[in-house]
Structures are given as structure tokens and as C-alpha cells.
Amino acid sequence: MSSSIKHLVVIIDLNPFYWSDKISSTTTTLNFKQYLKIIIQFCNAYIAFDINHRLTIIGCSNNETCFLYPDPTNESLIIPTVTKTNLFEQLFVIDRVVENNLKEFIENLSPQHISSGSMITMALTQALCYINRLIRDTLPGEKNSFRILIIQTTTDTSKQYMNFMNAVFTSEKINVPIDGCILNNDSSLLQQACDLTSGIYLRVPDPNGLLQYLLWLYLTDKEVRKMLALPTKVAVDYRPACFCHHKLIDTGYVCSVCLSIYCDNTSTCSTCRSAFDINNQSISTSNGITDSSRRQIR
């Protein structure tokens, strides 16, 4: 009988700009070292929770991403000293590999590239490609499940809106739930991702309790969650971002050819180059988006 393997891909936001702000702030809150320690503790708990659990960790900063675990090259160099530490061998290997790769990743971060947002979308697409490969390699009769957990610290960058939403729709299509945990202000994009893929979204009220929240909500999969008391679902902010300024908008114009969204009346669609007659009346739709189809002249 084949057992079903449960894969979890954890995407960790390692943006240095978020943590540099924390150093200057006077409030006693979680620091970067504690944050990393908590994530490693959660990953260890996930592996120890079930023999069929498998883990992948992807780190992302403001301008790059990195596979922190698994790393076959690094793993082969580590000799577990199980007898000395009395630690489960796999946990020892995970700790060391993640520690080494994290150190390398953080040391190589280029500070001159200033960008406040993190490459969450890039990490998400890498996670989906990796999962797709695992799905392809699944043997007949195996019923493996996959899940993505995004631990985000930075606020949304609406520049990533289109790519992020495309990745979310892909995730929904291949039936991979996205869970989201954010330490900053509420993230509209992450909320939409979790809602569309039936994952759990949580804005951590107190970062000092991050480990407790992670263990409570994200250790278990969909089946076990039915038995848990989960946080009350809040109304999801489904506002899209305009393609011209990458701002979240309540009312906008939609290109009838390629469905690009614009915050203002435009004569040409910048995506598909369709030209519009700006003098014709536009039609408002029930969701607040204005349909510009009547204004398209060719």
C-alpha cells in the first residue's frame, strides 16, 4: 500500500528593509534572529509531526529568491552527529542546511538595489514549478498533496499584481492551497490568494506569538483543519490594481480585447495596442469596473 506524501513549500520573506526599520523602532518586538529561529522551529515541528511530511523552503528578499532546503549538494557534506546531540537525524540536517544557505543568501544580498517590496511572486512561481515537477514524478496510485505557506513581512507591491494573480489562478487550477501569514499590515493580494485557493490567511496580531500562530494554523492540512477552531474569516478586499500605475482601484476601465484594467480613460491599451474612441459613453458594471468595449474603434 502506498502512503500519501504531504508536501509543504514554505516561502519566507527575508526582506532586509523591513528588519532594518525594526532595529530603529523603540518598541520591543520580534527581531530578525528570533524570526528565523521561529521559522526553523516551525519547520522542525512540521517534519516531526508526520512521517509522510516533506518540506521545501524558499527564501525571498527585495530582489532575489533562493531554495534554502532541500539542497542535495550541501546535505551530502553534513555528517549528522546524532549520538552527540540526541537529535532526530533529519532535523539536524535541515537545521544545518537551512542555516548554511540562509547565511550565504543574507551575506550576498545587494543593498544598493532599493526596493521596498519582496519577490514573493517570483518565489511563488518557483514553488509552483517545483510542485508541478513533483506532480509529474508522482507514481500511479500515489495520492500526494501539496500546500504552499507564504510568511510575509513586507507590504504588497501592486507592480506584482498581474503576475501574482496569474500564479494564484495556476495554484487554484492544480489544487494547491496557499496559506498566508503576514506580520505587517493586511495584504490584499495575500488575502485574495488564500481565499481563492481555500487556504488560511492570518495577520499576526502580536509578532511575539508567531510560533504559536504557525503551529496552530499551518501545521495541519485541509482535512485536520475541519476539526480546529479557526479564526473568523474577514471580508476579502478584491480590488484589482490598474495596469498603468499599479495602484489598487475601486472603479476603472477594462480593455474589451485583453481585459487590462486602467484607472483612467485612455486612448490606447498599453497591453494589446487597441485604440479606443474616448468620446463615446462608457458603461458601468455592477462590480464598479467600467466597460470600455463601446469605446474600442478597431
* Residue numbers at the binding site for Zn ion (CB under 5 A): 242, 244-245, 255, 257-258, 260, 263, 269, 271-272, 274
H and E: helices and strands count for the chain:
10, 10
Residue 2, all three cell numbers = 502506498
Minimum distance from CB of 242 to Zn ion (Å)? 3
| Half-sphere exposure at residue 179, Cβ-oriented, CA atoms within 13 angstroms | 25
Minimum distance from CB of 247 to Zn ion (Å)? 6
Minimum distance from CB of 252 to Zn ion (Å)? 8
Q: Which residue, 196 or 244, is less far from Zn ion as judged by CB? A: 244
Q: Which residue, 111 or 288, is less far from Zn ion as judged by CB? A: 288
Q: How many residues does the chain have?
A: 298
Residue 205, all three cell numbers = 496580531
Q: Which residue, 133 or 298, is less far from Zn ion as judged by CB? A: 298
289-291 vs 283-284, strand pairing mode: antiparallel
Minimum distance from CB of 120 to Zn ion (Å)? 22
Q: Is 231 exposed, middle or buried (0-12, 13-18, 19+ CB in 10 A)?
A: middle
Q: Which residue, 164 or 201, is less far from Zn ion as judged by CB? A: 164
Minimum distance from CB of 164 to Zn ion (Å)? 17
| Half-sphere exposure at residue 141, Cβ-oriented, CA atoms within 13 angstroms | 3
Q: Which residue, 106 or 244, is less far from Zn ion as judged by CB? A: 244
Minimum distance from CB of 263 to Zn ion (Å)? 3
Q: Which residue, 113 or 245, is less far from Zn ion as judged by CB? A: 245
Residue 27, all three cell numbers = 518598541
Q: What is the DSSP string of 194-261?
A: HHHHT--EEE-S-GGGHHHHHHHHSSS-HHHHTTS-PPPPPPP--PPBPTTT--B-SSEEE-TTT--E
